[in-house]
Structure 1
Amino acid sequence: MNHQVVVAGGGPVGLWLAAELRRCGITVAVIETRTERDTRSRALTVHPRTIETFASRGVQDPFVSEGIPLPGGHFGALDSRLDFRRLPSPFPYTLLLPQQRTEALLEQQALELGATVLRGHEVTGLSEGPDSVRVHIQAADGPFTMEAAYLVGCDGVRSTVRGAAGIDFPGTPSTVLGWLGDVVLDEPPAPGHGYFGPNGSLMAVPVPGGLHRLVGITPRDITSTWPGDLTLAELRENVITMTGTDFGMRDPVWLSRFGNATRLAAQYRNGRVFLAGDAAHQHFPAGGVGMNVGIQDAANLAWKLAATLNGWAPDTLLDTYHAERHPVGVSLTETSRAQVALMTAFTPEGLALRGLLGELITELPELNDRLAGQVSSLSVAYPPTAPDDRRPTGTRADDLALDDTSLFALLRADGYLLLDLTGSPDRPLHHLTGPGLRVHTSTPRLLPADWSGMRAALVRPDGHVAWASAESHDATLVNDLTAVLATTHQQRATGPTFTRSPRLSAYGKITAC
């Protein structure tokens, strides 16, 4: 049984990747070691950019209806929370939604779209050839091999795929150990309760099933020595030391420790093997960004794999995955380290620093917006393709309000959107055609400042702007766009599965009237 893409790991990242590939007609198999979904939810938050990504495929409603909207997030557990309501998004909030439910919704999508999900199967190795990769899999009834054009490791920080592909995972070991407990509280604190002081830090969050999640760090947790598994007695002692009460703590469902080991894959691609999510980056879970950054990895990679396999993009497009997402991983690990410093600042000097930064976030809206944009991934921008490209090129496209629809409603996984903002179907842009390209002509009701004066924009399937122009001369506008498309689109002859076929010509089907 062969597929065009094999995905190792059936968590949120692997499942979103699989669903996106199926939206493009790519056959995909997800290999997951767990026989059933983990009832323990490591991630609890869905950030604005992730909701936007779901909205660009019209599948956001279940997440929005089930999740609890929170008006912001935190940076380093500072007392002054980030205000997401200022963000330029139709979803200016964080959704409180356990990973177990997020994963269930994503798996349902992937299956309905035709993905193969093999639970109780484990990827054990790989053998790469010039035109395919053979994925070695262990099942309950024995080993077998699956052949694919590409393999994507979404199999976590202990990624078998990463090791088998020979990709280094450099970084730093744990020096801080956080802890969490999902427990019943007979006398729960008020929503949003938190503590930070000389005795440590504590956050209490209600989770489904009548439970509360208690997450924290104490000064003695600033250590590289593993003290053993967390016990209910230790959790109770930590909470009482900080708050004077245990809130009637009982009946733990999950007790765990986690560290601040921070590592980043040296390469996100090696030949026909790619990494996404925790397989590519490990960090302290500050701000609940890990799953969300992983889903953005998948959003970036999926359309590129599909465009290459479907023949309308050159193979070199796949190299841009590392070029674009690795810097995001660098920023993620650096920001996480900075937050760890704030979350362990228990000395008088550290508490003073935290107080100062909290005041600045409250008093300086631009600082709030900068940090909120970073935590939410809304500020991620990729390098422009040409030195003279200016904003909004590379940035995430806002959900522009058009005269008959909105931008997110127009985006699709299987090709670029050419947005003709002249409002006239008689303009030359309206007559551009080609594989992996759709044209929509519309008059925007209101453009963000970055878009002021723009007459056309080319938006990628992942919602980032590939090109935008304010050129007033129609012939020049068409010529400029044709040159851009010649670098992003390339028609290939249809060949056997998993084999490379000779290219016909650079985007030869463009026509302009």
Structure 2
Amino acid sequence: MNKDIDSRGVVVVGAGPTGLLLAADLAEAGVPVTLLERRHEGLSNLSRALVVHATTLEAFDARDIAAPLIERGAPVKSLRLFDTAVVDVSELPTPYPYLLVVPQYETEAVLYRRLERLGVRIRYETEVVGLRQDTDGVTVTVRDTSGTREERAAYVVGTDGSHSSVRSLLGVEFPGHTVVASVMLVDARLSQPPEARIATNTDGDKFAFVAPFKDGFHRIICWDRKHAKAETEPVELSEVREILRETLGTDFGMGEPRWSSRFHSDERQAERYRVGRVFLSGDAAHTHSPAGGQGMNTGLLDAANLSWKLIAVLRGRAGEALLDSYEAERYPVGAAVVKGSGRLLRAAQVKMTPARKARNLAMHFALARPAVNRRLGYALSGLWISYAAPHGAHPLTGHRAGDVALAGTPSRLFEALRGGGFVLVAPAELHEAAAKAGVKTAVSADGGPVRLIRPDGYIAWAADAPTAEDVAEAITAAGA
């Protein structure tokens, strides 16, 4: 065996969206990063995920990659559920009050270009077959086309999907069950597209979802629980057309597809997200039904949460305890997403006609109430996410900062967050302590409390009238 040793860096296993974002964040901070992928070279042409939510677009904005992704997608401001019930996201408090419908391969392409600019190359056809930890780092046994060897890193992150080899090597359980078998995905043109840009309905056993891509194609997700087929079976267009007609009243003049696939959907969550120096993110940590389009988005936000913490520890600005906060913050989010998507799925699977009519009527009247509509919009978009704060902390601590308007240049918080690092939003007389610590500073255009913003856009600390000493202590405590 040959040994390539670099105990300073991070090995990221899996070059899907979660791994691409995480590896690029580390590289941008100057952390040595190795990105391993079992696939052959080239971006995946699969497009299973199709919706990017507002909170994810905010994270992309903070990395200056939101605009190129939006150019590739189709913004949709409302979603029709169960006949006539409509969720309106156009008034959400975010620069991105819509669902961006975009194929996963386009999202991966934007993430890959950022990684490429930072000089990180993906090592394809490389599989992790062994892990061994000690107090100083992790020894990773990898197998590629040239054979088997060991590599050394300070930390390892498994972003290698629901069948994660990293999770398996750690011995972490992944409890749960299959909730839908034989889900069909089809990308096709529709000669008579639905009036609502996103349409979905179900009769209990059959389910259909239709959404537009920017290039004129539509994504169709559908299944028939009574006639589930093996995942190896090809998708029959007659089968898809029948489901569309029976759930949405028409097949919309669906043409020949450019791509189709069949898969099953599980509800599972890893029992742990951290084992020593090894972490799990994305589908390696949680998987659930496609209801709500949460999967890829949750994984990307996992990466945004973990990357800055690894950077802070590797730079010596924070102790190992900071890394424990990754599981403490993201595990409840993963659990909530699994539970929420499961609720939507079970609502879609109501079989009896009277019960379906009651469900449709209840959803229609509930979503006609602005407060209920807004709450569901928050749930779909990820704007609901906040993290626990220490006892006695300012009420803003742990909450999403939002795109704070700033005086001067840059004029927005998300622009100030670009390049990584914390940002102190405070009057100019409090900037000296931040400058000494290498923390970026800005002045709020609208006043308000002093806020120390984490690199992932959440508020690490806030105070109404702090002293310079208070600010310096908060910066040290946060690992900034």
Give the deviation of 1:188 after TM superposition: 5.0
Match of 1:132 among 133, 137, 154: 137
Q: Quick one: distance in 1 between partners of 2:436 and 2:123? A: 36
Give the deviation of 1:342 after TM superposition: 1.4
Q: Quick one: distance in 2 between partners of 1:489 and 1:209? A: 44
**1:114 corresponds to 2:116:** no
Q: Residue 379 of structure 1 aligns with which residue?
A: 384
User: TM-score under structure 1 normalisation?
Assistant: 0.84
Give the deviation of 1:410 after TM superposition: 1.1
Give the deviation of 1:140 after TM superposition: 1.8
Q: Residue 460 of structure 1 aligns with which residue?
A: 454
Q: Residue 395 of structure 2 aligns with which residue?
A: 391
Give the deviation of 1:286 after TM superposition: 1.1
Q: Quick one: distance in 1 between partners of 2:462 and 2:387? A: 14
Q: Quick one: distance in 2 between partners of 1:130 and 1:217? A: 49
Unaligned runs of 5+ in 1: 448-452, 491-513
Match of 2:235 among 231, 236, 252: 231
Q: Residue 438 of structure 1 aligns with which residue?
A: 440
Unaligned runs of 5+ in 2: none
Give the deviation of 1:89 after TM superposition: 0.6
Give the deviation of 1:64 after TM superposition: 1.8
Q: 1:195 to 1:108 in 2, by over 3 A?
A: closer
Q: Quick one: distance in 1 between partners of 2:279 and 2:431? A: 36
Output one character per residue of 1:408-458: Cα deviation in whole Å (capped at 9) or x when no partner: 1111454221111x3xx3x24434444452333x2423x6xxxxx41x111
Give the deviation of 1:467 after TM superposition: 0.9
Q: Residue 352 of structure 1 aligns with which residue?
A: 358
Moved more, 143-152 or 41-50: 143-152
Moved more, 160-169 or 409-418: 409-418
Three-state SS of the structure 1 residue aligned to 2:179 is coil
Output one character per residue of 1:477-500: Cα deviation in whole Å (capped at 9) or x when no partner: 33433443343238xxxxxxxxxx
Q: Percent identity?
A: 36
The one-letter code of the counterpart of 2:39 is R
Q: Residue 463 of structure 2 aligns with which residue?
A: 469
Q: 1:358 to 1:462 in 2, by over 3 A?
A: same
**1:265 corresponds to 2:280:** no
Output one character per residue of 1:260-294: Cα deviation in whole Å (capped at 9) or x when no partner: 42111111110111011000001001121111111
Give the deviation of 1:240 after TM superposition: 4.1
**Counterparts in 2 of 1:27-426, with a 5 A limit?**
27-35=32-40, 36-73=42-79, 79-174=84-179, 177-185=182-190, 189-190=194-195, 192=197, 194=199, 196-198=201-203, 200-207=206-213, 211-218=217-224, 220=226, 229-232=233-236, 233-242=238-247, 246-347=251-352, 348-362=354-368, 364-384=369-389, 386-404=390-408, 405-412=411-418, 414-420=420-426, 422=427, 425=428
Moved more, 428-437 or 86-95: 428-437
Q: Contact (CA 8 Å) 2:22, 2:307: kept in 1 or not?
A: yes
Moved more, 307-316 or 292-301: 307-316
Q: 1:428 to 1:143 in 2, by over 3 A?
A: same
Q: Residue 485 of structure 1 aligns with which residue?
A: 475
Give the deviation of 1:245 after TM superposition: 5.2
Q: CA RMSD in A?
A: 2.5
Give aligned pairs, total: 469
Give the deviation of 1:107 after TM superposition: 0.7
The one-letter code of the counterpart of 1:419 is V
